[in-house]
Chains A and B, each alone.
Chain A
Amino acid sequence: MHELGIVMNAVRQVEKAAADNGVQKVVGVTMEIGEVSTVVPELFLDAFNWAKKRTRFLGDAQLEMIIIEGRTYCQACGETYRTTEYGKKCPHCGSDETYLLTGDQVIIKDITAVSEEEESE
Chain B
Amino acid sequence: MQKVKTILLSKSVFENNDEQAELLRAELRKNHICLVNVMSSPGSGKTTLLVALINALKQSFDIGVMQADIDSDKDAVTVAEKTGVRSVQLHTGGMCHLDAGMTRQGLSALGDGLDLIFLENVGNLVCPAEYDTGATVNMVILSVPEGNDKPLKYPLVFEKCELAVISKTDTLPYFDFDMDECKKYIRARNAGAAVIPVSAKTGENTAELVNWFRQKLSER
- Residues on A close to B: CB < 8 A? 1-2, 4-6, 9-10, 12-14, 17-18, 21, 23-24, 27, 31, 38, 87-88, 96, 105-117, 119
Contacts and interface: CB of A to CB of B under 8 A. Distances in A.
A73 to B, nearest CB: 15
Name A's interface SS. mixed
Interface stretch (B80-88, B89-97, B113-121): B89-97
A114 B2 contact: yes
Interface string B1-37: 1111111111111111100000000000000000000
Interface of B: 1-17, 94-97, 126-127, 130-131, 152, 155-156, 188-189
Contact of B9 (A23, A110, A119): A110
Nearest to A87: B152
B4 A114 contact: yes
Contact of A111 (B9, B96, B97): B9
16 contacts: A2-B126, A6-B13, A9-B17, A10-B13, A13-B11, A13-B13, A13-B15, A18-B7, A27-B4, A107-B11, A108-B11, A109-B10, A110-B6, A112-B6, A113-B6, A115-B3
B5 A108 contact: no
B7 A110 contact: yes
Contacts of A6: 13, 130
B3 A9 contact: no
Contacts of B4: 27, 112-114
B6 A105 contact: no
Name B's interface SS. mixed
B188 A111 contact: no
A12 B96 CA distance: 18
B9 A113 contact: no
Given A1-B94, A113-B5, A107 B127 contact: no
B191 to A, nearest CB: 9
Given A107-B10, A116-B1, 12 more contacts: A2-B97, A9-B16, A10-B13, A23-B5, A88-B189, A107-B11, A108-B10, A108-B11, A109-B10, A110-B6, A112-B6, A117-B3
A111 B4 CA distance: 10
Contacts of B7: 17-18, 21, 23, 110-113
Contacts of A88: 152, 155, 188-189
Contacts of A24: 2
A113 B8 CA distance: 11
Contacts of A108: 9-13
A119 B3 CA distance: 11
B23 to A, nearest CB: 17
A27 to B, nearest CB: 7
